[in-house]
Each structure stands twice: as C-alpha cells, then as structure tokens.
C-alpha cells in the first residue's frame, strides 16, 4: 500500500503505517549522521548546553517536531549564486546511530527516521513509545533519490563538521521509501535476522550430521 506523507507528520498518519508499506514523503527533512547525532546528544539532550548553540537548537526543535531525519552524507555542488544542490543523496547505514536515535526521537518529537539497513531494539521501542517509524531508503540509488530533493533550504555546522556530517535542511517531493519498523513494535529487519539465524542453525546441524 502506498502512503503519501507530508511533513509535519501527524500521529494518526504514523499509526496507520505498517511494515511493508510504501511511502512517498514530501516536506522539509534534515540530514544527520554520526557527528550530528553526537552533537545533538552532547549539547542538547544528555548534558544540555543549549546556550552554546541556541540558534541551532531552536531551528532543530522546529524542524524535527513531527519531522524526519535522514541518515545521509550527500554529495553536493554549489552554483555561482551560492545555491547548493544535492548531486547524490544515498542513505547511510543506520545502525551506527542506534546509541543515539531513541533519545533524539523522544527529545525532538521525531515521526520518521530514514536510512538503510534498519536499527536495533532501542530505536524500535522508541518508535513504539513515541509514535514514529523507520523508513528504508533505496541503497545504491543515490542519484535517483537526489531527484526527489527539490531544494536545499539551509545547512548548519558545515564548516565545523564537514559536508557529509552537516545538518542539511532539504525540501523533498515524493521521496520514496518503505516502512520497515513501525509504531506497533514490528521490525522487518528483526524478522529477517530471526529467520536467517534459524536457517543457519539448520544448515549447520545438517553439515555436522
């Protein structure tokens, strides 16, 4: 089933989603990888030092409430007028953000996390507790995904963190993804792992016999 989602995403829209559903996401999304997540945790969440970066905190609080984070280190270009454009926008492996994501979901009121490869039990529990979903983007289709990025609205911490790790604020239109972790406690990734583990055990038993 295809769901058209517009950011900010309502709680009702999130709870209507189930693993396996296709999503086209439109609206303003914020990219964040390892360094960006570490900054959010250290400066804003676990040991708040908001006074050091008040403008960034205010912007993230507005953008992420009901919003979406995309695990992405984009390839960008800049034209003669200083405007940025996403050349490639493929997803980053999400499990790297497992130590942080549950706290980010809770603190900022995230509704969607986008990436590839899925996340662990702590993020899944946060999705259930705070009504959020994990959306699996298409790996290996960086240029295709970049076509759904219609505008780079802003960028934060580019000089401090570097281009791949910066907070890029992008306007998307029909960004394609699949729900693989829903707000009902279901994880397609966990199911695949369980089945694979059982299959491996069976194969090992056959070989040992």
Tokens of 147: 């076509």
Q: What CATH code is carried by the domain that includes residue 56?
A: 3.20.130.10
CA separation, residue 65 to residues 49, 124, 148 (Å): 20, 18, 22
Instruction: Write the pLDDT tens digit of every residue in 12-36.
Output: 999 999 999 999 999 999 999 999 9
Q: Is 157 left (phi over 0), alpha (psi -120 to 50) or beta?
A: left
Residue of 3, 18, 24, 37 marked catalytic: 37
> Does residue 141 register a pLDDT over 70?
no
How many domains are contained in the chain? 1
Domain that holds residue 60: 2-208
> Does residue 191 register a pLDDT over 70?
no
Annotation marks residue 37 as catalytic:
yes
Rounded to two decimals, the pTM is 0.89
Contact 146, 104 (CB under 8 A): no
């Amino acid at each position: 089933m295809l769901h058209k989602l517009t950011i900010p995403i309502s709680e009702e829209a999130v709870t209507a989603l189930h693993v396996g559903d296709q999503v086209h996401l439109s609206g303003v999304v914020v990219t964040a990888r390892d360094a960006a997540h570490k900054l959010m945790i250290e400066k804003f969440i676990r040991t708040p030092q908001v006074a050091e970066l008040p403008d960034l905190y205010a912007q993230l609080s507005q953008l992420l409430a009901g919003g979406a984070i995309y695990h992405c280190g984009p390839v960008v270009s800049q034209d003669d007028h200083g405007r940025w454009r996403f050349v490639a926008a493929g997803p980053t492996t999400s499990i790297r953000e497992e130590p942080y994501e549950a706290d980010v979901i809770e603190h900022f009121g995230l509704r969607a996390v986008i990436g590839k490869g899925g996340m662990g039990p702590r993020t899944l529990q946060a999705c259930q507790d705070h009504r959020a979903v994990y959306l699996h983007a298409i790996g290996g289709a960086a240029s295709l995904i970049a076509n759904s990025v219609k505008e780079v609205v802003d960028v934060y911490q580019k000089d401090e963190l570097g281009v791949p790790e910066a907070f890029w604020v992008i306007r998307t239109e029909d960004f394609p993804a699949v729900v693989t972790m829903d707000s009902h406690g279901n994880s397609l990734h966990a199911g695949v792992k369980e089945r694979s583990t059982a299959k491996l055990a069976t194969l090992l038993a056959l070989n040992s016999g």
